[in-house]
Amino acid sequence: MATHKSAEKRARQNKVRSIRNASKKTRIKSTLKKLDDALKGNNKAAAEETLKKASSLISKGASKGVLRKRTASRKISRLSKKVNALAS
């Protein structure tokens, strides 16, 4: 356990940040599941709408440090590919 004042503050900050990051990751994952369901159901309109939300959440996650930039761009690219394949 932290004994210095600064270390105690850092521990508090880390706890709050980890809760916030977990919440953002969960939101991203649930949106990705919705997108996957839309893709499996061949629902083009729902897939495109969900892709828009998912890519926005993933980009925000990358900018806030929840995901790495490369990971985020790779996920968005792969999802876009799947939705475009469904469209054609």
pLDDT in tens, 24-57: 999 999 999 999 999 999 999 999 999 999 999 9
pLDDT in tens, 2-28: 789 999 999 999 999 999 999 999 999
**Among residues 74, 63, 66, 33, which one has the least CA distance to residue 50?**
33
Domain that residue 56 falls in = 5-87
Please state the domain count of the chain.
1
In angstroms, the Cα distances linking 20 to 15, 68, 70 are 9, 16, 21
E strand or H helix at 28: helix 5-40
**Token pair of 37 as six digits:** 């369901």
**Token pair of 1 as six digits:** 């356990």
CATH of the domain at 61: 1.20.58.110
Q: What's the pTM? A: 0.87
